[in-house]
Amino acid sequence: AVDIHGVCPGCGDQRILPGRGPDGAPICPACAGIVHSAFRCRRCQLEGRLYHRKLCIHCTLTDRVTALLDNGTGHADPALAPLAAALATDPTPTPAGRLVWLARPHNRTLLRALATGQVPLTHPGLNAYPDQAGIPYLRALLVHCGVLPDLDRHLLDFETWLTRRLHRLTEHPHERLLRQFGLWHQ
């Protein structure tokens, strides 16, 4: 019911329409006799589905992003401000999709590591991160926001694979030769 938005046929206001009129048409909380709106965000007063601590999805996203990108000063790292804005307000993916992405432990750990400087905010820094599960999406988002420069995805994928592969061959007798061949350039 809280996902239905529109013009209330009773009062003509643009609101959520969780109630039902005598004819079964969706109506706003006021026209339905719902005095205390349990559908209003306690911070921005927007009506809709409420999430953590009676906040709308946008306020919840903003709080989670701010907490994850805190660099230890109580504020988001200024270099990550465009990322914070994109995670909190971009229309795609949906706010619910971003909330799910932020809830994944490996994504939270990665964002905290970026914010605190444990992972350098560079393409090589992201390549060196041990858990690569959330890296491709985050890298694309960082490039989209202008935090990182654009790069050739195919070359990046190859370099990432090569770095991991050579690391696993550390004690192999042909590791030095393979490293020279893989990293050779004119």
Q: What is the DSSP letter of 43?
A: T
Look at the pTM and tell me if it is higher than 0.85: no
Nearby residues of 71 by Cβ (< 8 Å), 6 or more positions away: 77, 115, 116, 117
Check residue 164 and give its pLDDT.
82
Is the preceding peptide bond at 29 cis, omega within 30 degrees of 0? no
For residue range 58-75, list pLDDT tens digits in order.
Answer: 899 999 999 999 998 888
Give residue 185's pLDDT band: very low, low, confident or very high (50, 70, 90). low
Whether the predicted pLDDT of 186 surpasses 60? no
